[in-house]
Structure 1
Amino acid sequence: MHGGGFNRIVGIFVTSSESPTASQYVLRVPRFDASRLDRDLAPLQLLRRRSKIKVPEVTAFDTTSHNVLESPYMIQTRIPGSPLFPAYPDLPYELKYDIAYELGRVFSELNSIRSVVAGRLTLSPSQGPLRIQPFNNMDPDATVLYENGPPAQKPSDMLLALLEYKKELVVAEGPKQSFRVSFFDSFIVVASEMSARGLFDDNYYCLCHPDLEPRNILVSPPSPTQPQAITGILDWDSALFAPPFMSCPPPMWLWAWNDEGEEDERLPNMTPPTPDLRELKQLFEYVAGATYLRFAYGPQYRLARKLMRFAIDGLQSNEDLKSAELFLANNYRTPLLDSSVADELDAQKDAKPF
């Protein structure tokens, strides 16, 4: 089967004389030694335990290379349905309506799954209770037991500590990285000013799927045996616990499909041009709920999502550096917020999206 950037994917059909129908599975084998199968497994375990979101069921796995494949692996039951990409624009409207409704429920559910600590879900070495690897400490011994509750550290403090941590890592690489250090100095100033304006006051962390795109959503026309249109959501490898604005990027493809490339998050709240598209957008927003509406469209939270991604992922490539330059040049007077943007943030901090 077509694999992803980090996993080889193999379809498996198991036949038996006792059953005329073959059982179907998917084998996932990491492409790189640095891949973390424990982080792939942990979100699936949590979601099957705490939500109604349809995700693959893991039937077998090995996080070591001490097996016949000489590699870590995971075997999942194969979910019926087809990816929404590239089929979505040609689907019948009735199916799009069901998809919009069900995706809204997914957004709402993700926001309800909380954590005391921000970071990535992982498994303990003994595959015992779920744990969290904090963003600002990658030492395996630094993981903490997953717990649902209020945060141990305010999101504003977490973000600033994470940026300082990433800056220290770059400083340790030597003077040739001074240009990267200057980026993090600017990010820290931006984060401080945004925090002072109350943009990180929401005191919780929720589960986020950073790649909730059509290619990772499987659908099938509803039937008596399969009443839901969305049959499964894939690729939870990058799932994380983060402030709620991170779980609310608008799924613009629902009402503004773009065949030409990535969607521009500056345009998501434009009114769709047709009654059907307007209905899809309104339905999704209604089901996704008030939290989504608060964090999805405001420019302040669009910028906060970008800043949080820089804090989590760092500046690892030339593309990251170009993106950081655009972020600062287009939105701020480096290293301080441009006054016009600062005024807009103040004016829209508590505004509703429409």
Structure 2
Amino acid sequence: MPQFSEQSPLEQYDQAYYDILQVRLLQLVSELFPEIKGSSQMIIEEIGWGSYNQVMGVTIWQSEPFQGLAATVQNFFSRLCRTAKVQRSSDHQDYAIRFPFHDGNEFTILGNDMGRDVAVLQILQSCLAIPLPKVIKYDLGKDNALQKPYILQNRIRGQTLEVLMDTLNSKQMTHIVEKIAAITAPAAGMISGENAADIRGWESKLKQFAVPTYTVAEAFPDYAQPSAEPAQAQTPLKYLIVHCQRWLAYEASMGYSKNEALWADIIVVARSLDRLGLLGDCFHLVHDDLFPRNILAEVKDSTSVEIRGIIDWDISFFAPKCVAFRPPYWAWIGEDAQERDEGNARIEPEDDTGVSLQEAFLTAASDEYIRFGFSQEGVFARQLFYVVERGVLTPCEVDLANMLVSQWRTLYPSDFTNSDSW
């Protein structure tokens, strides 16, 4: 049984789970690679896990590489296989298998929709010139040896930037963010799982952001539930206004009217951001989990690393331009920073390493990136997007929205005078 840290979400599973998983994985790998003659030509190892999915690594040799190493299920599945001093020959291929923790029918939230994951990776492979996993084979049903949906993809080798942070290649990091943001669409929303089988025309098949969100729907099961409606082509400003109106309609269906004035003020801020040119005129691709754990790299020399790939595209979508240009403030603030606190973009680093990393990033970034990523208004725009997307039905969400409106009123008081927000 693999050993996991105390923070592992896999703790809830007992030995029986792993006993079954070992057998099923062995059978699945044998079916995926029928050319192998025995288990001595494969190693299966734990790579990691996310909020919804487990990831196992698979190494396949064309010939038998192990001499004197018993190739039992226990041997090739355990961490022994990861650390054993085995000479790897050049005739091997590395893969990764992703599958959900839960049964395949439990697709209740974005991260569990593996069909969408397949579509995202296939579309990005066709239009994004940065290293990312390639889909080799997938099965979105349960009629397979694993009895779960799975994706077989190539494995990108490297260490996460969590390990290599101090030698971050800032120029390459800015290049990657700008490459991702350069992919645009006419509507806000998420790539649809319908594109898994055919990616042609994907831009016209985006799914709109759900109102209510899955989290809100779970809290209020007696009211309207999320639906995967097609996203409509519109300007970023129009999207924000319509999304506010959708939330108002949902709240009205609950008999809740306390947020009407707040939503009106949010729309005033949105109009102001549009006037300042911070929303853009189309929607840009966002990797919303672009943090060190999902950036693989290797040491290039004594002062820098080379980014080898970007993984975990589960939380990716199209949003106004300001959202796509979030700076990697985690690089120079340090481990204590709240990774989703957009205000971190305007916090100055406290140590020499952080100062050097920030200066290197600012030197490499374009003027557009700096304006959208670091300006006070750019930070406001990102914060506003997430308020609108998630709604204001909890005290924390209401407090954040009121704070943004209050601060914007201080900066641009005339925008609230005789405004026609609707």
Which TM class, normalised by the smaller chain length? Answer: 0.7 to 0.9
Secondary structure of 1:75's partner? strand
Query: 1:164 maps to what in 2?
Result: 245
Q: Please tell me whether residue 292 in structure 1 is matched to residue 369 in structure 2.
A: yes
Moved more, 189-198 or 240-249: 189-198
Letter in 1 for 2:56: V
Provide closer, same or farther for how the CA distance between residues 167 and 77 of structure 1 changes in structure 2, counting only shifts above 3 A.
Answer: same
The equivalent position to 2:207 in structure 1, one of 121, 125, 133, is: 133
| CA displacement at 1:8 relative to structure 2 | 1.5
The question of 1:154 aligning with 2:228 is answered no
CA RMSD of aligned residues (A): 3.0
Matched, 1:239 2:316: yes
2:14 is aligned to none
| TM-score, length-scaled by structure 1 | 0.78
Matched, 1:108 2:178: yes
Asked if the contact 2:322/2:381 (under 8 Å) is kept, the reply is yes
1:190 aligns with 2:263: no
Letter in 2 for 1:191: I
Give the Cα–Cα distance (whole angstroms) in 2 for the partners of residues 326 and 78 of structure 1.
43
Which whole-Å CA distance do the structure 1 matches of 2:372 and 2:323 have between them?
Answer: 8
The one-letter code matched in structure 2 to 1:15 is W
Stretches of structure 1 that go unaligned for 5 or more consecutive residues are 145-151, 347-354
Q: Is the 8 A contact 2:295 2:310 kept in 1?
A: yes
Whether the aligned pair in 1 keeps the contact of 2:342 and 2:379 (CA below 8 Å) is yes
- Judge conservation of contact 2:299–2:306 (CA < 8 Å) in 1: yes
Q: Counterpart in 1 of 2:57? A: 11
Aligned to 2:5: none
Q: SS state of the match for residue 212, structure 1?
A: coil
Match of 2:397 in 1: 324
Q: Secondary structure at the match of 1:54?
A: coil
Residue 294 to residue 9, structure 1, CA distance change in 2 (3 Å)? same
**Percentage identity across paired residues of the two chains:** 23
Distance 1:215 1:182, change over 3 A: farther
**Corresponding residue of 1:349:** none
Partner of 2:293: 215
Question: 8 Å contact 2:322–2:373 — kept in the other structure?
Answer: yes
Asked which structure has the greater RCO (Cα within 8 Å, sep 6+), the reply is: 1
Change (3 A) 1:14 1:261: same
Q: By how many angstroms is 1:88 displaced?
A: 3.6
Matched, 1:36 2:113: yes
CA distance in 2, matches of 1:344, 1:302: 20
Report how far residue 205 of structure 1 moved. Answer: 0.8
What is the alpha-carbon distance in structure 2 between the residues aligned to residue 171 and residue 66 of structure 1?
Answer: 43
Contact persistence 1:245–1:296 (CA under 8 A): yes
Alpha-carbon spacing, 1:28–1:325, altered in 2? closer, same or farther (3 Å): same
Q: CA deviation at 1:113?
A: 0.8
Which runs of structure 1 show a deviation greater than 6 angstroms over 4 or more consecutive aligned residues?
none
Aligned residue pairs total 317
User: Secondary structure at the residue paired with 1:76?
Assistant: strand
SS in 2 for 1:24: strand
Amino acid paired to 1:26: A
Supply the AA of the counterpart residue of 1:119.
G
- TM-score, with structure 2 as normaliser: 0.67
Report what 2:219 is aligned to: none
Greater CA radius of gyration, 1 or 2? 2
